Copies of this chain bind each other. A is one copy, B any other.
Amino acid sequence: MAAGGRQNRKPAQNTHAADGKSIQYGPLEHWIGFNLRMAQAASFQAFSRRSKDIGLRPGRFATLTLIGQNPGISQTALSRANGRDKSTLTPLIADLVRQRLVRRVREVNDRRSYGLTLTPAGEKMLAQLTECARQHEEELDGIVGRRERAQFLAALKKLADALA
């Protein structure tokens, strides 16, 4: 999703149309699916605002982290770990290689396949994005609340695991 202009980031609830009428959400209001998307979109946009200055699209942070944590990872394993299908991941990786943030390396035991690793520039970019992400996480923690954080995280993990 592209980052929106500030005027498009009004709360999902109690939103008023331009003519002053309240927006009706119908069944969406109490549905997990819609509110999960709205929370994810808001979180992504907030992270985008923070990371804009670094000049990297925030959707690449998780990819860089997973390559940094797992040097030589295959694109298949990365796609699985990242919740992205290969058709989304392939151009993303190609772009990171073009920007010299990621390098393709040959497997020693299987010369047909290759793994992915960070370049020094990639490591540096990842360090900067990680700092952005840490600040973003602090903001999210503050909103969810310390006491409810563990339960909230557990519910998110349950959803990702059960629907996989």
B161 A12 Cβ-Cβ under 8 A: yes
Q: Tell me whether A156 and B38 are in contact in the complex, defined as CB-CB below 8 angstroms, given that A25-B69, A27-B133 are known contacts.
A: yes
B159 A144 Cβ-Cβ under 8 A: yes
Stretch of A78-86, A94-102, A117-125 with 4 or more beta carbons under 8 angstroms from chain B = A78-86
Docked complex Cα distance between A158 and B159 (Å):
19
Identical chains bound together, number = 2
A9 B159 Cβ-Cβ under 8 A: no
Chain B, Cβ-Cβ closest to A41 = B83
| Contacting residues of chain A (133-147) with chain B, CB-CB under 8 angstroms | 133-134, 136-137, 139-141, 143-145
Instruction: Report whether over half of chain A's contact residues are helix, strand or loop; otherwise say mixed.
Output: helix
- Chain A residues bordering chain B, tally (CB within 8 A): 87
Docked complex Cα distance between A159 and B13 (Å):
11
Partner of A77, one of B23, B33, B87: B23
Docked complex Cα distance between A39 and B8 (Å):
23
Q: Within 8 Å of chain B (Cβ to Cβ): is A153?
A: yes
A-B CB proximity, top 6 nearest: A4-B85, A17-B77, A42-B163, A41-B83, A40-B40, A11-B161
Given A15-B81, A17-B73, A23-B81, output 13 extra A-B contacts at Cβ < 8 Å.
Answer: A2-B88, A12-B164, A23-B69, A26-B65, A26-B66, A39-B155, A39-B157, A39-B159, A41-B84, A42-B159, A42-B162, A45-B163, A46-B163
